[in-house]
């Protein structure tokens, strides 16, 4: 199976968003925050959260089963529920932004963590955009944001 990866997606989407904002056009997108045990989905319209859905699936599901099928199915179901709550279809949403554990080795796409300090330009540069049902179960562009880690390695915790 072939898939395509596109770098530096955030500036494109942000630029489109600012264009729509200036022209008084409405743009909707979904933010996905995937954790260990739960995943939260937020529907954004005109810079405000208009709907939220929390589903009881996270990367712990992947660790328990050895694959990410449950995570994919949970996100797809949660995404559809979010749209249904607002009487929307997939055509009403332009893209999704995903962050958190979804970009870990147990998530949908593994993206190497960036080392702090990090600014918004760094996050945009190392973000990855996919539109592939083998990775994300919904036919929509998804921008995956990398995680951030400390410069100190394992075992070098300092307590204050």
Long-range CB contact pairs, 17-20, < 8 A, 24+: none
Distance, in Å, from the CA atom of 55 to the CA atom of 39, rounded to the nearest integer, reads: 5
Q: Which one has a higher pLDDT value, 1 or 137?
A: 137
Residue 14 pLDDT exceeds 80: no
Cis peptide before 117 (omega within 30 of 0): yes
Q: Which one has a higher pLDDT value, 48 or 1?
A: 48
Q: Which one has a higher pLDDT value, 98 or 152?
A: 98
Q: Residue 3: what pLDDT?
A: 35
Q: Residue 15: what pLDDT?
A: 52
Say if pTM beats, i.e. exceeds, 0.75.
yes
SS (H, E, C) 62-130: HHHHCCCHHHHHHHHHHHHHHHHHCCCCHHHCCEEEEEEHHHCCCCCCCCCCEECCCCHHHHHHHCEEE
* Domain residue extents for the chain: 6-149
Q: Residue 27: what pLDDT?
A: 87
Token pair in block for residue 134: 């083998």
Q: Please state which of the four CATH numbers 3.30.420.40, 3.30.450.40, 3.40.50.880, 3.30.1360.120 is assigned to the domain occupying 6-149.
A: 3.30.420.40
For residue 136, count other CB atoms closer than 10 A to its CB: 23
Supply the mean pLDDT for the chain. Answer: 85
For 19-57, write each residue's pLDDT tens digit: 555 555 678 999 999 999 999 999 999 889 999 999 999
Q: Which one has a higher pLDDT value, 137 or 74?
A: 74
Distance, in Å, from the CA atom of 126 to the CA atom of 109, rounded to the nearest integer, reads: 13
Percent of the chain's residues with pLDDT above 90: 69
């Amino acid at each position: 199976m072939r898939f395509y990866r596109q770098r530096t997606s955030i500036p494109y989407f942000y630029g489109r968003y600012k264009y729509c904002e200036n022209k008084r056009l409405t743009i909707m997108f979904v933010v996905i925050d995937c954790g260990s045990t739960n995943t939260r989905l937020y529907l954004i319209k005109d810079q405000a959260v208009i709907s939220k859905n929390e589903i009881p699936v996270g990367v712990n599901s992947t660790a328990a089963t050895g694959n990410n099928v449950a995570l994919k199915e949970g996100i797809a179901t949660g995404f559809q529920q979010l749209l249904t709550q607002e009487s929307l279809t997939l055509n009403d949403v332009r893209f999704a932004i995903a962050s958190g554990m979804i970009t870990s080795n147990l998530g949908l796409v593994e993206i190497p963590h960036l080392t702090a300090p990090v600014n918004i330009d760094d996050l945009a540069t190392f973000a990855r955009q996919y539109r592939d049902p083998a990775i994300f179960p919904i036919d929509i562009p998804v921008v995956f944001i990398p995680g951030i880690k400390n410069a100190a390695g394992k075992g070098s915790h300092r307590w204050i």
